[in-house]
Chain A
Amino acid sequence: MSMNSQGRPTMPTPSNDTSEMEPVFQSFSGHRGLRLAEPLIFELGTCHTTGVDVEDAGDFELSIGDVERTAEIGCPGLSEPDAVRHFTRLSRRNYGIDMGVFPLGSCTMKHNPRLNEKMARLPGFGDIHPLQPVSSVQGALELMDELSHWITTLTGMPAVALSPKAGAHGELCGVMAIRAALEARGDAREVVLCPESAHGTNPATAAFCGYKVKSIPAQDNGRVDLQALKEALDDTVAAVMITNPNTCGLFESEIKEIADAIHQAGAFFYCDGANFNAIMGKARPGDLGVDAMHLNLHKTFSTPHGGGGPGSGPVVFSEALKDFAPMPYVVKEGDAFTLVEDGDTKSLGRLTAYHGQMGMYVRALSYMLSHGADGIKQAAEDAVLNANYVLASLSDVMSASFEGPCMHEALFDDRFLKDTGVTTLDFAKAMIDEGYHPMTMYFPLVVHGAMLVEPTETESKYNMDQFIRSMRGLAEEAREGKVARFEGAPYFAPWKRLDETQAARQPVLRHPVAEAAE
């Protein structure tokens, strides 16, 4: 069986004989009841169809020079009813938080309040241009200032840069600020330390900023090995990137000692704040010695993941780094707000055109105002409670990777599947048949066959009990050697396992030109 670098099988196993579940005939249409087949727009539409009534420009003299596009582009059009039907049919092949528990560890799939969507669509936020005169967008700058206030208060940090577009972009911003600060003191340094359990964006970001990446080991209890860290720290180390709570779902109990050791070596402490959801309102990174940390507004503050973005990754900074924050930023002068877009020579520069993800700022502030300080703290507590409830309810049938309570996510490994023939991947796919999105699998890399379960605070006890019942059922069957439901799972999804190896060997990344609609 082909494996990718995480030891995850990439070839589908042949599906079992499912004849008992399958009808003996095929429909004439290709549909299967509510499972509606749907071709590509290139097979549905034509280049002569349009679903938009645009006025006819009539004849007039063009002023585009000698570059008019005359060749056919190949983009098909659909009438409005056909377009609505096409995308509605596609949507029904997706699983989302709105449909059920989505316990994807490290991704924080919590409920996305619709009030936030409504607020982001107010014309005063959604229909303003980033380069309008500053006098005409005072309310937008006020919103950014207010969001900054909430973020700095919750994190206990003196400053925040809002503009990074997503978590990884925030990491880039943070590590660049660190490098700018080091260069400003004439001490560039060359190494960034990351734990083995780090998210892949951490080492990728450090390399992007020209650093060599060295790995630091974990202790048996899943936390950073402080002694090993101290030994690795010297005057070549620019920064240490640590996720806290970490990717094993554990709080780094020696975080202050870690921060002290980092600072004693003259390095900076970058904290990956992807898991801030677990501690918001409960603890402030500013009290723990952090120099820079990004927040994922699309995790912690409920802005929708949207099938892969858009995200938003504001970065908070300590006193030592705040002068190096990127432009632009908002400054309040009396009752008026201004934007600093250039001319700050200490700033690390500009990371994106315009001012960042305004649409996400509105949603996140709407979330914060709705929860308030009390609700935010309650949300963190409930997230941790739900995860520990899962951990406590499954530890006798699955193998928890570490002892003791977890934070917002429970980590299991595949020891409980030993000698059953069932893999983490099989187990995950069987969860699909149970009506759940699988947990994060094969991450973090520090335990074998990882299964990282993050229920979030927006699941009820009823939902948790149903979920736990399914998980227990699956674990018990696997251990009893009843493996039929795992081999070739999912059976009840609209697609069987897809062949990733073929996709990578002979990549087909677009609809072919020759077959484009006429």
Chain B
Amino acid sequence: MRYLPLTNDDRQAMLAKIGVRHIDDLFRDVPKGDLNPEIDLPRHQSEMSVERQLSRMAAKNISAGSVPFFVGAGAYKHHVPATVDHMIQRGEFLTAYTPYQPEIAQGTLQYLFEFQTLVAQLTGMDVANASMYDGSTATAEAVMMARRATRKKRAIMAGSLHAHYKAVVETTTQFTDDEIVSLSSSPTDPEAELQAAIDAIDDTTSCVVVQNPGVNGSVLDLTRVAEAAHAHKALLIVVVTEVVSLGLIKSPGEMGADIVVGEGQSIGNGLNFGGPYLGLFATNQKYVRQMPGRLCGKTIDADGNEGFVLTLSTREQHIRREKATSNICTNSGLCSLAFTVHMSLLGEKGLRQLALVNHKRTCELRDALNSIDGVEVLNNTFFNEITVRLSRPAAAVVDTLAADGVLAGVPMSRLYPDDKVDDLLILAATETVTSDDISTLAAKLKEALS
């Protein structure tokens, strides 16, 4: 077996040194009848054979890059520069552990410090942590942090929040006495959706959670939600599932957010069928000690040289145990490196250009769809995603187009099966979408709806 270096001679010599005759003498604490069970699985295989088997499975899937592709709703197909993947595959990054020994982990620690700064800048907040699992679990952590910070337990989730994110918050808090108020989505009227969230805020409210751009793609100014929340000593949590939008849209910090969480997948990370992704978590200085997750901080070494360490760990489970701010341990280290490399390549200039191209493509998509009978674009504002009403159930239309080699988007009913949204379709257009892709989509859609 190619991954196991010990030879049988080695094994015998080592057993002799240990002073036992058989390997099972070392497993003597396992109950006798339970040792060495029959395991009905195939034997080991060569690299070539495994590659063949897995490639066959992979070939059964339609990859985003192989077809006109408009699927978004919280995960986005972007071009990732070759440099990013090359850098994250360097063994010194890939095969390192969490940087508990800072003298030999300054590579990881410095990029985490850079990552934290980049996330703080993009979100317009003071500080960011070294990442969470993904945007949805970051949102649940933010709701619990708001409870700690305000000592109140009523959390309001606006209709604009992705259904999975709502579900994760509800699941995660189901055994606490938090009260989660989940407002229904109204994709046709995002302003009303926002007003409903504002109206729900009262003095018992710990936080109001708003997604921007919303799940239907609409972009809103959240300043008045922030004002309403702060008037009741509640926190505004802003969720950003498309972080490229921050290159073009005013930051949540500028709009008055107290906590910003997000899905960082769009920068540097592939679609990966939903994971691994990258949870972003940023807040203001006064809440630092309430934050979940790892933080990297600057310090000096014994010779006075600047360096970095993991810090404020007295918030964390390995020190505080049952009194920790979160149970999180492993986070998304390598995904945060991919983000940092991609952001370093883009810079502010490249990010803004990228955001503009995304928006422009989506304007083209809107115009193309508006010209089709049986399609009504619902958005007045958007970044790179829009919701349309179709004259037929969206799920069936999506299946028809998929069979015809076009991945047309996400039927709203897949996210909100209990709402009456069968005719709504969410479509995203990033820089990877071409004019030809849009024409193809329009033609196929016209055909399917006629």
B337 within 8 A of A: yes
Contact of B47 among A107, A115, A283 (CB under 8 A): A115
Whether A68 contacts B250 in the complex (CB less than 8 A), given A282-B36, A405-B18, comes out as: yes
Whether A282 contacts B30 in the complex (CB less than 8 A), given A307-B337, A326-B171, A353-B134, comes out as: yes
B151 within 8 A of A: no
Contact B54 A366 (CB under 8 A): yes
Within 8 A of B (CB), among A375-414: 375-379, 381-382, 384-386, 388-389, 391-393, 405, 407
Taking CB atoms, residues of chain A closer than 8 Å to B247 are 69, 73
Contact B275 A75 (CB under 8 A): no
Chain B interface: which of A88-96, A261-269, A416-424? A88-96
B356 within 8 A of A: yes
A284 within 8 A of B: yes
Contact of A153 among B39, B81, B97, B346 (CB under 8 A): B39
Contact A91 B92 (CB under 8 A): yes
A33 within 8 A of B: no
Contact A457 B4 (CB under 8 A): yes
Residue interface bits A29-63, CB-to-B below 8 A is 1, else 0: 00000000010111001111111101111101111
Contact of B61 among A55, A139, A166, A200 (CB under 8 A): A139
Chain B interface size band reads: 35 or more
User: How far, in Å, is A140 (CB) from chain B's closest CB?
Assistant: 5
A479 within 8 A of B: no
CA–CA, A179 and B322, complex, Å: 17
Taking CB atoms, residues of chain A closer than 8 Å to B39 are 153-154, 281, 373, 376-377
User: How far, in Å, is B401 (CB) from chain A's closest CB?
Assistant: 9
Contact of B62 among A92, A107, A136, A153 (CB under 8 A): A136
Whether A96 contacts B302 in the complex (CB less than 8 A), given A5-B314, A63-B382, A129-B71, comes out as: no
Contact A307 B326 (CB under 8 A): no
Taking CB atoms, residues of chain A closer than 8 Å to B288 are 507, 509
Contact of A15 among B29, B302, B363 (CB under 8 A): B302
CA–CA, A389 and B20, complex, Å: 11
A210 within 8 A of B: yes
Whether A373 contacts B43 in the complex (CB less than 8 A), given A94-B104, A503-B309, A507-B311, comes out as: yes
Residue interface bits A92-105, CB-to-B below 8 A is 1, else 0: 11111111001010
Taking CB atoms, residues of chain B closer than 8 Å to A366 are 50, 54
Contact A507 B302 (CB under 8 A): no
Within 8 A of B (CB), among A55-82: 55-58, 60-78, 80
Whether A65 contacts B380 in the complex (CB less than 8 A), given A87-B111, A309-B334, A498-B102, comes out as: yes
Closest A residue to B39 using CB positions: A373
A469 within 8 A of B: no
Contact B3 A153 (CB under 8 A): no
Contact A166 B329 (CB under 8 A): yes
Contact B51 A132 (CB under 8 A): no
A219 within 8 A of B: no
Contact A495 B301 (CB under 8 A): yes
Closest B residue to A77 using CB positions: B347
Within 8 A of B (CB), among A325-381: 326, 341-343, 348-360, 362, 365-366, 368-379, 381
CA–CA, A377 and B31, complex, Å: 17
A133 within 8 A of B: yes
Contact A310 B83 (CB under 8 A): no
User: How far, in Å, is B2 (CB) from chain A's closest CB?
Assistant: 8
Residue interface bits B64-91, CB-to-A below 8 A is 1, else 0: 1110010101110100010101111111
Whether A137 contacts B54 in the complex (CB less than 8 A), given A307-B93, A494-B103, comes out as: no
Contact of B98 among A126, A138, A305 (CB under 8 A): A305
Within 8 A of A (CB), among B36-68: 36-37, 39-45, 47, 50-51, 53-66
Contact A370 B330 (CB under 8 A): no
Chain B interface: which of A224-232, A249-257, A315-323, A470-478? A249-257
Contact A75 B96 (CB under 8 A): no
B388 within 8 A of A: no
Contact B58 A115 (CB under 8 A): no
B438 within 8 A of A: no
B333 within 8 A of A: yes
A308 within 8 A of B: yes
CA–CA, A499 and B431, complex, Å: 45
Taking CB atoms, residues of chain A closer than 8 Å to B113 are 40, 509-511
Taking CB atoms, residues of chain B closer than 8 Å to A186 are none
Within 8 A of A (CB), among B299-344: 299-303, 305, 307-309, 311-314, 316-324, 326-335, 337, 340-341, 343-344
User: How far, in Å, is A485 (CB) from chain B's closest CB?
Assistant: 15
Most buried by B among A74, A124, A341, A365: A124
User: How far, in Å, is B224 (CB) from chain A's closest CB?
Assistant: 12
Contact B74 A498 (CB under 8 A): no
Residue interface bits B342-360, CB-to-A below 8 A is 1, else 0: 0111111111011011011
Contact A308 B110 (CB under 8 A): no
Closest B residue to A192 using CB positions: B322
A496 within 8 A of B: yes
CA–CA, A284 and B34, complex, Å: 7
Taking CB atoms, residues of chain B closer than 8 Å to A75 are 118, 121-122, 343, 346-348, 351
Contact of B97 among A15, A437, A458 (CB under 8 A): A437
Taking CB atoms, residues of chain A closer than 8 Å to B349 are 47-50, 77
B165 within 8 A of A: yes
A502 within 8 A of B: yes
CA–CA, A482 and B90, complex, Å: 38
A122 within 8 A of B: yes
Whether A167 contacts B329 in the complex (CB less than 8 A), given A68-B250, A200-B319, A498-B301, comes out as: yes
Chain A interface: which of B181-189, B202-210, B290-298? B290-298
Closest B residue to A175 using CB positions: B175
A84 within 8 A of B: yes
Taking CB atoms, residues of chain B closer than 8 Å to A483 are none
Contact A304 B94 (CB under 8 A): yes
A206 within 8 A of B: yes
CA–CA, A107 and B335, complex, Å: 20
B164 within 8 A of A: yes
CA–CA, A493 and B85, complex, Å: 28
Chain A interface: which of B6-14, B227-235, B440-448? B6-14
Contact A349 B27 (CB under 8 A): no
Taking CB atoms, residues of chain A closer than 8 Å to B127 are 509-510
Contact A65 B61 (CB under 8 A): no
Contact A500 B343 (CB under 8 A): no
B373 within 8 A of A: no
Most buried by B among A46, A86, A137, A310: A310
Contact A132 B407 (CB under 8 A): yes
Closest B residue to A131 using CB positions: B410
B174 within 8 A of A: yes
| Closest CB pairs A-B (n = 10) | A77-B347, A124-B58, A354-B274, A306-B334, A139-B60, A98-B91, A130-B274, A308-B333, A349-B171, A310-B276
19 interchain pairs, CB-CB under 8 A:
A40-B113, A42-B114, A74-B348, A78-B345, A96-B93, A115-B50, A126-B272, A172-B172, A179-B175, A200-B320, A305-B330, A350-B167, A372-B42, A490-B104, A496-B301, A497-B103, A498-B301, A499-B302, A509-B311
Q: A169-B133, A369-B53 are in contact. List 17 more A-B contacts (CB 8 A).
A: A6-B319, A68-B248, A87-B111, A91-B92, A93-B107, A99-B91, A119-B54, A120-B272, A204-B321, A283-B27, A308-B108, A353-B136, A371-B44, A376-B39, A392-B19, A498-B103, A499-B309
